[in-house]
Amino acid sequence: MSSRAIEVTVCPNGPFLIRGAEQVIDVEGVAHCTTRPVVAVCRCGKTGRPPWCDGTHKLL
């Protein structure tokens, strides 16, 4: 697992899917550890659980 390259997938009208990352740094510089092998990072800026996607983009 640790040798896997970090991979970012852009979902149209949705989040970034990120595989292989251990941390995501938010806009305020705070590091958030990933707790799953693939995480969804908010791209619309409206999530209630930053930096993670919570599906809010579907309401915009």
Instruction: Work out whether 50 is an interface residue with other proteins (CB under 8 A).
Output: no
x/- track of binding to other proteins for residues 18-37 (CB under 8 A): -----------------xxx
Q: Between the CA atoms of 42, 44, 49 and 54, what dihedral angle is there, to the nearest 10 degrees?
A: -80
Question: What is the rounded distance in angstroms from the CA atom of residue 54 to the CA atom of residue 60?
Answer: 13
Q: Which two tokens stand for residue 8?
A: 């970012």
**For other proteins, which residue of 6, 27, 59, 60 counts as binding (CB under 8 A)?**
59
Q: How many helices (H) and strands (E) does the chain have?
A: 0, 5
Instruction: Work out whether 4 is an interface residue with other proteins (CB under 8 A).
Output: no
Q: Binding residues for other proteins, per CB under 8 A?
A: 11-15, 17, 35-40, 48-49, 52-56, 58-59
